[in-house]
Structure 1
Amino acid sequence: MARHHHRLVQDGLYESARLAGRKEALVTEGARLSFVELLDRAQRLARALRDRGLEPGDRVAIFMDNGVDAVVSIYATWIAGGVVMVVNPQTKARKLAYLLADSGARFLLSQSKLHRVVLPALEELQPSPRPFLVVSDGDPRRGDTTFETLLPGTGGDPGDPGTVATDLAALIYTSGSTGEPKGVMVTHQNVTFTLGSLLEYLRLGSDERILNLLPLAFDYGLYQLLMAVRLGATLVLEPGFEYPAVIEQRIREEAVTVFPGVPTVFTSLLARAREDKPGFPSVRAVTNTAAALAPDLVPGLQRLFPNALIFRMYGLTECKRVCYLEPEELAARPESVGKAIPGTQVFLRDPQGRSLGPGETGILHVRGPHVMVGYWNQPEKTAEMLRSGRHPGDRVLCTHDLFRMDGEGYLYFVGRSDDIIKSRGEKVSPVEVENVLHGIPGVRDAAVVGVPDPALGEAIRAYVSLAPGSRIGEREIRRACQARLEGFMVPQEIVLLPELPRTDTGKIRKLDLLGARRPDPSPPPHTPAGSEAP
């Protein structure tokens, strides 16, 4: 089937299957798939989804661990004309139900090991429409619809669903300050432009072997897959970073050339490094985003990856990537996150919308073909982020993050003007964590803040006061959080206080909390019922 060059995201797979053929596209879970094999599996699943009623624009939730089935599901959805919605496999049932309901997902592709989350989530959806559930590795005798029972016996292109470049390619959910995740809408045009810009400044070629240990639900992880496929390169896909020794072994065994990470990953590797232990000379590029890369980590990374260019970057889901610092500038500008990525523009404004000059601190604005089209079903929140530009019909992304820019156009992060915590490369809504804390029996009040952390970017600290007579402790509170929240959202620190400071209007004063100290280890005192707090 004739296709325009990279008009749609899946065009990268078609082209690489044509040009690279039997070359390894994916190495994961002990499996090795060529581009031809990956395309064949994706086409067969796409045809099966179409036969089961998938219409162009339907949302397909992909709730799986990193692996072959997740990659096949992503490309199958695009080939069938659907909208990809990858969900972090750490997600709990209540949040999964929210995502399915909010997106109106028509299909849910998952794994049998996640039934413990999927089945309660589907029950919560009633009486709302439930998506059609397909389990990649389920048991037909149990009534599961599986990939093997769904897929037709022969391959072949399922046909053109009529997708155009301005159609939605993905919904990427990100935490919001209200506590409810927001679905960032990105089109095929958004994604294909961004891919081209990333590949240009990262200086990557078709001979790369890219290691990805980040969740495919995290756009940083997803784009490692998309870059590898578009280049005709090889993706070495890992389920995560639970065992650093396994990752070190994988880098050596697979001769990895590109290593994307976040500060928690880098600090773990550096903690294991020794002078008498060889580094990783095969790696030619190391990238960091999500949380800021501390300048103190750079010398260690340069020793660990002696032949690598090290890229410091900044971005947000609403436009994927904002800026990057050329590796040659690391020493000269250790605090900078660089300049706008190719083909885009950035500038600073004050809260009144006035343009700011070099050295002034203001709100970062971004314009370019990578900017999202909005939040799914949330026009008011969309209006808060997308503003009118200087040119007719121009839309500009207001990041609400504070930066300053020097005279040469280099950006320096100052702080966030919203309430979001960025920990382990993930956005965490304090409200979402606070809602869980308030639901724990014995908790009277709770407030969550982010505190600087060299490895995490920000650590999550929860301040909690207990109801009169309550004897629960930090351990019980942490366990309750672990049962309700993804791992990256569980507070690293829980501080029990007799009272949380409040304003005259009753709002918790979070700035005052940051200076609060733990009381002595004895049970916290309680204000008797009916009396007023001091």
Structure 2
Amino acid sequence: MRVEDLLRESAAERPEKVALVDGPARMSYGDLDADSDRLAAGLVALGVERGDRVVILMDNIAEAALSIFAVLKAGAVFCPVNPSLKGNGLGQLLADCRPRAALTQAKYASGCAAAAEGLAEPPRIVVARAQGPLVAGLLPFETLVGSAAPRPTHIGAEADLAMIIYTSGSTGQAKGVMMQHSAMLAVSASIASYLGNSADDVVLGALPLSFTYGLYQLIVSVRTGATLLLAKGFAFPHAVMEEARKEGVTGLPLVPTMAAMLLSMNDLSATSLPALRYITNAAAPLPAAHIAGLRRLFPGAHLHSMYGLSECARATSLPPEEIDRKPESVGKAIPGTEVTIVDGEGLPVARGDTGELVVRGPHLMLGYWENEAATREALRPDPATGETQLHTGDLFRADTEGFLHFVGRKDDIIKIRGEKVAPCRVEAVLHGCSGVREAAVTGVPDALLGNVLHATVVASDPDLSARAVMRHCAQHLPDFMVPKAVAFRDALPKTASGKVVRRLVQATGTVE
């Protein structure tokens, strides 16, 4: 079985069921299956062969979902790219994965073509939603979907490469994460299992499909026959939530940024989403204050606090019945997988001690595209069993009951007065300060102490002062962990997936 077979099965079982809602447009499972067959045939006619890479550079629109399954049906490898990536960044990605074709939208077509200039073999660029004639060399998406070519009949296997998805680059150079069909099938089955997804669900798809967390909303929805409500982002939360109410959304995947926006909406209540069954968070740890706010706002919804990364999609999940008791935990390993906290030698640490989280299971990446050094660093054998395990680069500790607690990125740890400080611990306290919507903590060199902490805050209360923020921190943190300065900003720099880019906060922030 391969990923595209999930669509074929759902289309066979419920061809008339709505698969995608894109504004006023609706696409049934039968049409999604048939149109992706035709697009796949069109791609093959363009010269796309088994194993070729095909870039998908689109917003969250129906054509993006259709393209993902078409590329797989053509036997190729899809590379989802966020449209916010432009210029040199896009050019470097195209040069790295060397796609045979690129599927994009009219508003991104010229940028995509410019980024492909100079490549030894530029991709064929296919453009969706064009309003008029295209520039010479660009092909209309609708023409390929209207292809009368026969359905591709390639023979593929679960072990084939299905996707290359590039990391956000929040901690440095982006790398191409290679995922096989078998890994995507395994993790989507696990997610559907612990979330209890079914054909009755309507899931909000406001997270980019080019982002692992957003992509699996599509894959899991198709696996279970659910409906995915596509949204172009969360910049206008009132409009998105109104659409979610109209469509009867039952699943609300979010990131901390979205949670902060929801909690600042004074007119939002449980009646705003009467059908809501569950909420998930995975991109970055959800502050305990946000969890409490969401629980008050949607008391009838199950809240799943999860941890994942592109290299395995998901690793842990906290059962909703534990969220009030352990709001700062991200749970335990998801079904069918294993996690362990290890020391520098790769050996398990004692309960309560901090170490690096390693993950084992059928959902691990194959490696980083054409980057053997990075692959060897991330995928290493277990010293005891020799089994391949993923070193996440993230520090965790387990409590006495085995529930996992995120400590921070290894690269983020700041040493102050000889003590190791995880910025996220200070940020969690900052989020508990009345009037703070978002916060980021960075280390600033200090001649006496080595480093001191600076906090950058996005306030929901215009009267909030730096003195009040530092006083709050002093009440909840040891002295060496209290920020020495607080800067107020209208927004924090983030990746397209909503993660705060701490190094950019440090590079651009000034003390006030």
Aligned CA-pair RMSD:
2.9
Q: 1:134 to 1:314 in 2, by over 3 A?
A: same
From 104, 129, 132, the equivalent of 2:124 is: 132
Describe the superposition over 1:49-94 as per-residue Cα deviations: whole angstroms up to 9, x where unpaired. 0111111110100001110111111110001111110000111121
For structure 1, the residue ranges without an aligned partner over 5 or more in a row are 1-6, 422-448, 465-477, 498-516, 519-534
Check whether the contact 1:273–1:304 (CA below 8 A) recurs between aligned residues: no
Alignment of 1:192 onto 2:185 = yes
Q: Which residue of 1 aligns with 2:244?
A: 251
Check whether the contact 1:184–1:375 (CA below 8 A) recurs between aligned residues: yes
Check whether the contact 1:462–1:495 (CA below 8 A) recurs between aligned residues: no
From 365, 376, 386, the equivalent of 1:383 is: 376
Secondary structure of 1:415's counterpart equals strand
Q: 1:331 to 1:149 in 2, by over 3 A?
A: closer
Output the CA distance in 2 between the equivalents of 1:335 and 1:27.
34
Alignment of 1:339 onto 2:332 = yes
For structure 2, the residue ranges without an aligned partner over 5 or more in a row are 415-422, 446-488
Check whether the contact 1:169–1:188 (CA below 8 A) recurs between aligned residues: yes
Q: 1:419 to 1:358 in 2, by over 3 A?
A: closer
Check whether the contact 2:208–2:497 (CA below 8 A) recurs between aligned residues: no
The residue type equivalent to 1:150 in the other structure is L
Cα offset for 1:308? 0.8
Check whether the contact 1:291–1:457 (CA below 8 A) recurs between aligned residues: no
From 5, 15, 19, the equivalent of 2:13 is: 19
How does 1:437-452 map onto structure 2 within 5 Å? 452=427
How does 1:499-514 map onto structure 2 within 5 Å? none
Secondary structure of 2:3's counterpart equals coil
Q: 1:227 to 1:487 in 2, by over 3 A?
A: closer
The residue type equivalent to 2:235 in the other structure is E
Output the CA distance in 1 between the equivalents of 2:288 and 2:294.
10
Describe the superposition over 1:156-179 as per-residue Cα deviations: whole angstroms up to 9, x where unpaired. 6322x2211011110010145883
How does 1:96-495 map onto structure 2 within 5 Å? 96-123=90-117, 126-138=118-130, 139-140=132-133, 142-143=135-136, 144-154=138-148, 157-159=151-153, 161-176=154-169, 179-274=172-267, 278-389=271-382, 394-419=387-412, 452=427, 454=431, 459=440, 491=504, 495=508
Q: Which residue of 1 aligns with 2:452?
A: none
Check whether the contact 2:207–2:497 (CA below 8 A) recurs between aligned residues: no
The residue type equivalent to 1:25 in the other structure is A
From 3, 26, 33, the equivalent of 1:9 is: 3
Describe the superposition over 1:284-311 as per-residue Cα deviations: whole angstroms up to 9, x where unpaired. 0100111111111223212322321000
Check whether the contact 1:311–1:326 (CA below 8 A) recurs between aligned residues: yes
The residue type equivalent to 2:144 in the other structure is L
Secondary structure of 1:278's counterpart equals helix
Q: How many residues align?
A: 447
The residue type equivalent to 1:122 in the other structure is A
Output the CA distance in 2 between the equivalents of 1:249 and 1:99.
36
The residue type equivalent to 1:112 in the other structure is A
Cα offset for 1:393? 5.5
The residue type equivalent to 1:264 in the other structure is T
Output the CA distance in 2 between the equivalents of 1:295 and 1:141.
50
Describe the superposition over 1:347-370 as per-residue Cα deviations: whole angstroms up to 9, x where unpaired. 111112222121111111110001
Check whether the contact 2:168–2:497 (CA below 8 A) recurs between aligned residues: no
The residue type equivalent to 1:278 in the other structure is T
Secondary structure of 1:298's counterpart equals helix
Cα offset for 1:405? 1.1
Q: 1:25 to 1:391 in 2, by over 3 A?
A: farther
Superposition TM-score, scaled by structure 2 size: 0.81
Superposition TM-score, scaled by structure 1 size: 0.78
Output the CA distance in 2 between the equivalents of 1:152 and 1:26.
19
Output the CA distance in 2 between the equivalents of 1:157 and 1:385.
39
Output the CA distance in 2 between the equivalents of 1:415 and 1:462.
14
Q: 1:78 to 1:279 in 2, by over 3 A?
A: same
Cα offset for 1:153? 4.4
Cα offset for 1:203? 1.4
Q: What percentage of residue pairs aligned between the two structures are identical?
A: 42
The residue type equivalent to 1:415 in the other structure is G
From 61, 72, 86, the equivalent of 2:66 is: 72
Output the CA distance in 2 between the equivalents of 1:300 and 1:100.
42
Output the CA distance in 1 between the equivalents of 2:383 and 2:183.
21
Secondary structure of 2:178's counterpart equals strand
Cα offset for 1:101? 0.7
Output the CA distance in 2 between the equivalents of 1:153 and 1:117.
26
Output the CA distance in 2 between the equivalents of 1:227 and 1:178.
28
Check whether the contact 1:59–1:83 (CA below 8 A) recurs between aligned residues: yes
Output the CA distance in 1 between the equivalents of 2:375 and 2:198.
36
Cα offset for 1:456? 8.4
Secondary structure of 2:271's counterpart equals coil
The residue type equivalent to 1:17 in the other structure is A
Output the CA distance in 2 between the equivalents of 1:347 and 1:309.
26
Secondary structure of 1:184's counterpart equals strand
The residue type equivalent to 2:78 in the other structure is V
How does 1:88-103 map onto structure 2 within 5 Å? 88-103=82-97
Output the CA distance in 2 between the equivalents of 1:348 and 1:265.
30
User: Which one is further off, 404-413 or 36-45?
Assistant: 404-413
Q: 1:326 to 1:158 in 2, by over 3 A?
A: same
